Amino acid sequence: MSDKKRYTTPAQWFNPEELQSLKGLEWLARKLAHETLSGLHSGKQLGQGTDFSQYRSYMPGDDLRRVDWKLYGRTDRLYVKESELESRTRWYGILDASASMQYEESNISKWQYAKILWAAITYIARQQGDTDGIVLVNDKQVEHLPPKPGAEQARMQLLYEAKVAGVWPSTITLPALQAGFRNKFILITDLYEQANELGSFIRSLLPAKNQVVVFHLMGRQEMELDFKETTIFEDAETGRQIETDTAKIREAYQTNVASYLQQCRNQVLGWHAEYHLCQMPKSPVNELRLFLRNQVKG
């Protein structure tokens, strides 16, 4: 089936049915990654490094030119070469697994959006021979799978099965990071916090030459309050409800939200982290391209 047939509208860049299975998630991630990479200039495409570092198992979709055919001839197994420079970069996906990520627009929740986004990023990372780890964070538990070659399937399985609950914890203890590696922390979150706990966490990641990228997920209706006039809003984390006439408060609401987003952007940039605003339910392809361009520059 062609991509055009799969996506009925430009905004409908995913099929909700595809999110019902692990393979579907992988498929969506790969499609998004290919779409992202196809928009970049060929000279700036990220590829393998110059110095061989190690082999890793072939994953469907990997560039066949990177397959070591000689090794295949010897072992009857497909392996992909990884460069030394790139293999020293570890990508940590830190996904906000709090209950506020249940917010949904156009049949996709922020949580599902975050999964697809991170899965696409890991696909791109592996393309260039990097490893990736994943951390799923809420106050109930912190699930962590460190970057490890060969454990990609396990990470994808964890990502697929994870659920949201609770709130962002006030303190988080991440496992000790290995020296000698460049770490890229990709934080995918809605930045809803109670007492600046997210801000503290971001600042804690910044020292030691780590790179922090924040993908801020917000829905279009959430930003514009584009709901029916009489709506009951329920807080996903506290369960509290408010009934309001959205028509009467829309203008003031939009002003406050715009001000907040600007404040978030300024704050993150002020910490020398990277900031990308992903507006649901639009595809994050543009934000991903910008992110990748920044990686090349950086």
Partner 1 sequence: MWQINHPAYWWALLAMAVPIVIHLYNRRRTQVKLMGSLRWVEEVQTAQWNFRRVHLWPLLLIRLLLLTVVVLLLVDLYKKDTSGKAERLHALLLIHPEAGDTSQYRQLAAGWQNDSVHVHWLASGFPAATNPITEDSKDIWSLVAEADLRFPADSIHMIAPNQQHYFKGTPPRIRAALSWELTDMQNDSLQLVWAGETNTDPELLWFHTQAQESVYQVQKGLHDSSPGQIQTAYSADKKYIEVKKGAARYRVPLSTPDTLTIAAVVNEDTKEEGYLFQKAVQAVAQYQKVPVKFIEENTAATDWVVLFDTTTALTSGLTKLMWVYEPGKSIDWLEKAGKNKLVIRKELTTANILEGGFLEALRPYISEFKYKQAATPHADFRKIDLAGNQEGEKEQITSFPESVQQKAGRERVWLGLFLLLIITLERLWPKKLG
Report the interface residues with partner 1, using CB under 8 A.
100-104, 110, 190, 192, 222, 225, 227-228, 230-237, 240-245, 248-249, 252-253, 256-257, 260
Q: β-strands 104-105, 108-109: how paired? A: antiparallel
Q: Which is nearer to partner 1, 125 or 198 (CB)?
A: 198
Class of residue 227 by CB neighbours under 10 A (exposed 0-12, middle 13-18, buried 19+): middle
Least separation in angstroms between residue 59's CB and partner 1 is 33
The Cβ of residue 214 has, within 10 Å, a number of other Cβ atoms equal to 24
CB of 239 to partner 1, least distance (A): 9
How far apart CA 155 and CA 162 sit, in angstroms, is: 11
CA 255 vs. chain centroid, Å, equals 27
| Identity of the residue, 29 or 95, whose beta carbon is nearer to partner 1 in the bound complex | 95
* CB of residue 169 to partner 1, shortest distance in Å: 17
Whichever of 41 and 240 has its CB closer to partner 1, that residue is: 240
Question: Residue 210 or 254: which CB sits closer to partner 1?
Answer: 254
- Residue closest to 159 by CA, chosen among 110, 112, 208, 127: 112
Whole-Å CA distances, 187 to 8, 96, 184: 30, 8, 9
Q: How far is the CB of 157 from partner 1 (least distance, A)?
A: 26
Given a contact cutoff of 8 angstroms between Cβ atoms, the answer to whether 155 and 132 are in contact is yes
Residue nearer to partner 1 on the CB measure, 111 or 275: 111
Q: How far is the CB of 13 from partner 1 (least distance, A)?
A: 21
